Amino acid sequence: MFASLEKKEKDITVDAMEERKVPKGQWVIKQGDDGDNLYVVHEGSLECYKRFSKNEEPKLVKTYGPGDSFGELALLYNAPRAASIKTVTDCVLFALDRETFNNIVKDAEVKRRERFEHIVSKVELLDSVDPYERSKIADVAMPVKAKAGDYVIKQGEPGDKFYIIEDGHAVATKVLHGKKDPEVVYEYKPGDYFGELALLKGEPRAANVIAKTDMALLALDREAFNRVLGPLTDILKRNTKKYEKFM
């Protein structure tokens, strides 16, 4: 969330943060309450529970550890807390107040989320991901640029990144069985993804992916891929059938 800030803004934000020691077993946030702070975890771990409807028991939706942040939604959207968060060990948190958040972080964060929502709404693969988790992809995805003609992926190399196309077009090429030269086996447009096979199978890259135009991509490393797209592994595997005729 703070990645898009300039250095000066980051320094002001860090200075404004207040250390809070919270013992094990306490609620830091209760769903439905008003909220005036967002928190960054310095030490310890916490659990997040969300009640999805009135008659339902709250469900554990997430755990937090050092470096994670939470409690941003109430500040971003002036809404009641959307979930409850409890310490499971003694914790040291840094709290950022609403005023500093509004002055420094909010505008950039709202813009970044809007831009990102626009991109991910085009990615069919992500349709079934919980909207909150989907919005968190913005926090872990790295923007990558490619120029027309660049090899974004080279067949045979080790791979540890998964790509989503924000803008531009690409082709996958591959040396097919019994042939000498690579042939085009797939064409990509905005909203498509590639680079999942090396991560799913732990094998070298199975094809080249070459930019046909200048491109804007979002890259997820292995850790982010597993965390965010882990629940989609079955869908990703099923989708690899589309490559079968070009092996």
Least distance (Å) between residue 96 CB and ligand CMP? 12
Can you name the residues that pair with 198 across neighbouring β-strands? none
Widest Cα–Cα separation across the chain = 66
Least distance (Å) between residue 8 CB and ligand CMP? 26
CA distance 26 to 41: 14
Least distance (Å) between residue 154 CB and ligand CMP? 9
Own/partner pairs, 113-120, CB within 8 angstroms, 24+ separation:
113/76, 113/138, 116/141, 119/164, 119/166, 119/218, 120/164
Distances (CA, A) of 145 to 65, 151, 205, 222, 235: 31, 11, 20, 19, 27
Least distance (Å) between residue 3 CB and ligand CMP? 16
Can you name the residues that pair with 144 across neighbouring β-strands? 217
Whichever of 35 and 168 has its CB closer to ligand CMP, that residue is 35
The footprint of ligand CMP (CB under 6 A) covers 29, 35, 48, 50, 61-62, 70-74, 81-83, 85, 130, 132, 153, 159, 172, 174, 185-186, 194-198, 205-207, 209, 243, 246
Given the structure tokens 């959307």, which residue do they identify? 82
Whichever of 6 and 240 has its CB closer to ligand CMP, that residue is 240
Q: Contact at 8 Å (CB) between 49 and 59?
A: yes
Nearest to residue 67, comparing CAs of 191, 223, 230? 223
Whichever of 8 and 158 has its CB closer to ligand CMP, that residue is 158
Whichever of 2 and 186 has its CB closer to ligand CMP, that residue is 186
Whichever of 197 and 224 has its CB closer to ligand CMP, that residue is 197
CA distance 15 to 4: 17
Least distance (Å) between residue 85 CB and ligand CMP? 6
Least distance (Å) between residue 7 CB and ligand CMP? 25
Whichever of 137 and 209 has its CB closer to ligand CMP, that residue is 209
